[in-house]
């Protein structure tokens, strides 16, 4: 599903063991809770359902003709009854199942409609209506869906750092001066948005106009404002966090439109009282809202795992 | 891939198969909890034979207990034992629930909702620990 990891085999095994333990732990808790709820609410029903003479609940799922829900789920509809299939029959059925799976995967990874529409549908079906920091499980689903649609690894937490939230409201910001003495007339788009008086919290994008590069121009065009000062890492080591965060690549998605853009962290804010958790450059705000200027946009903001700086800044999924 | 599928099949067949001669069916409400994606994630965990069986069994029991709780909410307590027994012999919910003073459609709608929530909860629980790499 995902490209091979750079990690060595030992670390992968270790990571997988951890995953297995966490799954067992959580499933066990759900199992215990389900058992207790049934026993407490309906003691007679529980007694009947758990009676040894009837068989364990797992046994009771199977009928004498052999329809096994779990097996059907695992291996497609491999077996229709308990009669034993020959090795050839089993292999043929599994091959057929694999072909069907591959077709489904192709359909998911190569959508006919624009990717932003697939993304919009894929995210809105399970995201909370009101933005709030996503639960670990939900953010993992978000990351997986984004990867499968945009081929971008985007995560709530990267290198041990996380923001105060990953799902919130984004305010419309002005342009930022890219170098000392930069003016709004030197910006090629959305001059009506204006420009801030001072540089962003992470400094100029370029030391001078002469040294201005295309990369620095793109960084300002697609800069994001985050509440670094409210993030957990800020209290632990603000200097280290600030260095790490400076021009850090992020993916911003408006789940309501599916529009997405890769930008960089260029400033700190907005203030708590604004009720917003992020800010976006004029270019970002317009793109996320299909060309409209909007004061408050619902967004997902995730760190982009791009160690080799291969993902270009700007809109994605068009 | 094929070997792993066969492994799962053998494991499940060996461990979850009922005793010969039992004439029991799985409760109808299992239809409301799609299992494909859930078990795909279990499969991705690459568990050992025993761990896989334990996890699959627990997931099935979670679904069974949770759905049964919801179903019994609508049934008079004096009929609980009888209903649990009939659950394993009658697959048609309209026949199964037809004799009680309730709206079968309302009960089925409630079970569908419960099934959807349960499906999402189980998926999130499994994906939560699944690494992107």
Per-residue pLDDT band for A225 (boundaries 50, 70, 90) equals: very high
Identify which of A103, A72, A274 has the alpha carbon closest to the alpha carbon of residue B38: A72
Which of A57, A89, A122, A127 should be substituted to probe chain B, the one whose Cβ sees the most B Cβ atoms within 10 Å?
Answer: A57
- Name B45's Cβ contacts closer than 8 Å, sequence gap at least 6: A16, A19, A20, A23, B52, B55, B126, B130
Neighboring chain A residues of B130 at a CB cutoff of 8 Å: 19, 140
**Identity of the residue in B55, B84, B127 whose CB atom sits nearest the CB atom of A49:** B84
Q: Is the peptide bond before A270 cis (omega within 30 degrees of 0)?
A: yes
| pLDDT over 90 (residue A57) | no
What pLDDT is recorded for position B28? 87
Per-residue pLDDT band for B25 (boundaries 50, 70, 90) equals: low
What pLDDT is recorded for position A14? 58
Identify which of A291, A262, A266, A297 has the alpha carbon closest to the alpha carbon of residue A195: A266
Of A31-40, A102-111, A134-143, B60-69, least confident by mean pLDDT is A102-111
Rounded mean pLDDT of A223-246? 91
**Higher per-residue confidence, A174 vs B50:** A174
- Name A241's Cβ contacts closer than 8 Å, sequence gap at least 6: A161, A228, A231, A233, A234
What pLDDT is recorded for position A246? 95
| pLDDT over 90 (residue B8) | no
- DSSP H helical ranges for chain A: 9-41, 43-49, 69-75, 87-109, 115-124, 136-150, 214-221, 232-236, 238-245, 282-288
Rounded mean pLDDT of A266-294? 93
Residues A144, A115: Cα–Cα separation, whole Å: 15
Chain A, nearest residue to B127 by Cα: A137
Q: Tell me, what DSSP letter sits at residue A198?
A: S
What pLDDT is recorded for position A87? 45
Rounded mean pLDDT of A300-305? 97
Neighboring chain B residues of A93 at a CB cutoff of 8 Å: none
Residue A263 backbone dihedrals phi, psi, to 5 degrees? -135, -170
DSSP A271-302: -GGGS-SEEE-HHHHHHHTTT---SEEEEEEE
What pLDDT is recorded for position A54? 36
Identify which of A145, A138, A220, A149 has the alpha carbon closest to the alpha carbon of residue A179: A220
What pLDDT is recorded for position A182? 96
What pLDDT is recorded for position B1? 36
Per-residue pLDDT band for B93 (boundaries 50, 70, 90) equals: very high
Residue recorded with tokens 């000392």: A180
Identify which of A50, A63, A61 has the alpha carbon closest to the alpha carbon of residue B81: A50
Per-residue pLDDT band for B129 (boundaries 50, 70, 90) equals: low
A:252-291 residues touching chain B, CB 8 A cutoff? none
| A12 lies within 8 A of chain B by CB | yes
Output the CA angle B4-B122-B41, nearest 5 degrees: 20
What pLDDT is recorded for position A226? 96
Per-residue pLDDT band for A223 (boundaries 50, 70, 90) equals: very high
Chain B, nearest residue to A72 by Cα: B36
Across chain B, mean pLDDT equals 76
In three-state secondary structure terms, A130 is coil
Residues A231, A272: Cα–Cα separation, whole Å: 12
Which of B6, B12, B76, B79 should be substituted to probe chain A, the one whose Cβ sees the most A Cβ atoms within 10 Å?
Answer: B12
What pLDDT is recorded for position A67? 31
Q: Which two tokens stand for residue A310?
A: 């291969």
Q: Tell me, what DSSP letter sits at residue A6?
A: S
**Identity of the residue in A27, A45, A136 whose CB atom sits nearest the CB atom of B55:** A27
Per-residue pLDDT band for A136 (boundaries 50, 70, 90) equals: confident
Per-residue pLDDT band for A11 (boundaries 50, 70, 90) equals: low
| pLDDT over 50 (residue B106) | yes
Q: Which two tokens stand for residue A77?
A: 């509809």
Rounded mean pLDDT of A16-42? 85
CB A241 within 8 A of CB A272: no
CB B104 within 8 A of CB B62: no
In three-state secondary structure terms, A11 is helix
Identify which of A115, A162, A138, A171 has the alpha carbon closest to the alpha carbon of residue A315: A115
What pLDDT is recorded for position A95? 52
What pLDDT is recorded for position A23? 82
In three-state secondary structure terms, A132 is coil
Residues A235, A182: Cα–Cα separation, whole Å: 33
Rounded mean pLDDT of A255-283? 95
What pLDDT is recorded for position B12? 44
What pLDDT is recorded for position A103? 52
pLDDT > 70: what percent of chain B? 77
Chain A, nearest residue to B74 by Cα: A42
* Chains A–B, number of C-beta pairs less than 8 Å apart: 216
Q: Tell me, what DSSP letter sits at residue B17?
A: P
Of A34-43, A153-162, A289-298, B23-32, least confident by mean pLDDT is B23-32
Per-residue pLDDT band for A161 (boundaries 50, 70, 90) equals: very high
What pLDDT is recorded for position A18? 65
Q: Which two tokens stand for residue B113?
A: 């909702």
What pLDDT is recorded for position A286? 95
What pLDDT is recorded for position B60? 84
Per-residue pLDDT band for A86 (boundaries 50, 70, 90) equals: very low
Residues A49, B24: Cα–Cα separation, whole Å: 13
Buried b (16+ CB within 10 A) or exposed e, A170-198: bbbbebbbbbeebeeeebeebeebebeee
| A2 lies within 8 A of chain B by CB | yes
Per-residue pLDDT band for A96 (boundaries 50, 70, 90) equals: low
Q: Which two tokens stand for residue A105?
A: 């995967």
Residue B43 backbone dihedrals phi, psi, to 5 degrees? -60, -40
What pLDDT is recorded for position A108? 43
Rounded mean pLDDT of B72-91? 88
Q: Taking CB atoms and an 8 Å limit, are A20 and B129 in contact across chains? A: yes
Q: Which two tokens stand for residue B120?
A: 């999402």
β-pairing verdict for A223-226 and A260-268: parallel
């Amino acid at each position: 599903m995902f490209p091979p990891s750079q990690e060595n085999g030992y670390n992968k095994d270790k990571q997988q063991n951890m995953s297995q333990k966490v799954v067992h732990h959580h499933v066990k808790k759900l199992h215990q809770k389900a058992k207790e709820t049934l026993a407490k609410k309906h003691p007679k029903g529980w007694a009947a359902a758990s009676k040894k003479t009837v068989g364990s609940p797992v046994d009771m799922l199977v009928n004498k003709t052999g329809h096994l829900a779990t097996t059907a789920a695992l291996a497609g509809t491999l077996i229709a009854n308990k009669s034993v299939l020959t090795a050839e029959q089993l292999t043929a059925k599994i091959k057929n199942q694999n072909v069907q799976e591959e077709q489904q995967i192709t359909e998911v990874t190569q959508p006919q409609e624009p990717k932003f529409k697939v993304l919009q549908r894929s995210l809105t079906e399970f995201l909370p209506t009101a933005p709030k920091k996503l639960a670990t499980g939900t953010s993992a689903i978000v990351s997986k869906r984004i990867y499968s649609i945009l081929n971008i690894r985007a995560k709530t937490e990267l290198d041990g750092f996380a923001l105060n939230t990953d799902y919130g409201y984004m305010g419309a910001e002005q342009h930022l001066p890219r170098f000392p003495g930069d003016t709004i007339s030197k910006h090629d788009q959305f001059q009506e948005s204006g420009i801030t008086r001072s540089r962003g919290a992470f400094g100029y994008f370029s030391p001078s106009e002469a040294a201005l590069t295309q990369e620095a121009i793109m960084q300002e065009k697609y800069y994001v404002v985050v509440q670094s000062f409210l993030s957990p890492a800020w209290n632990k080591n603000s200097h280290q966090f600030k260095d790490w965060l400076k021009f850090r690549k992020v993916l911003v998605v408006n789940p309501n439109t599916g529009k997405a853009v890769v930008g960089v962290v260029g400033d700190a804010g907005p203030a708590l009282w604004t009720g917003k958790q992020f800010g976006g450059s004029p270019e970002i705000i317009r793109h996320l809202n299909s060309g409209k200027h909007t004061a408050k946009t619902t967004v997902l903001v995730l760190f982009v795992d791009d160690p080799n700086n291969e993902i270009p800044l700007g809109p994605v999924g068009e | 891939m094929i070997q792993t599928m066969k492994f799962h099949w053998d494991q499940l067949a060996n461990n979850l198969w009922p005793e010969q001669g039992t004439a029991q069916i799985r409760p109808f409400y299992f239809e409301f909890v799609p299992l494909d994606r859930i078990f795909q994630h279990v499969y991705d965990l690459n568990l050992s034979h025993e761990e896989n069986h334990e996890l699959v069994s627990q997931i099935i029991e979670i679904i069974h207990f949770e759905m049964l709780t919801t179903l019994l909410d609508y049934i008079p307590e004096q009929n609980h034992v009888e209903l649990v027994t009939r659950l394993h012999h009658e697959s048609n919910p309209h026949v199964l629930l037809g004799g009680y003073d309730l709206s079968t459609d309302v009960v089925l709608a409630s079970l569908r909702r419960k099934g959807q929530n349960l499906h999402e909860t189980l998926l999130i629980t499994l994906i939560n620990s699944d690494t992107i790499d």
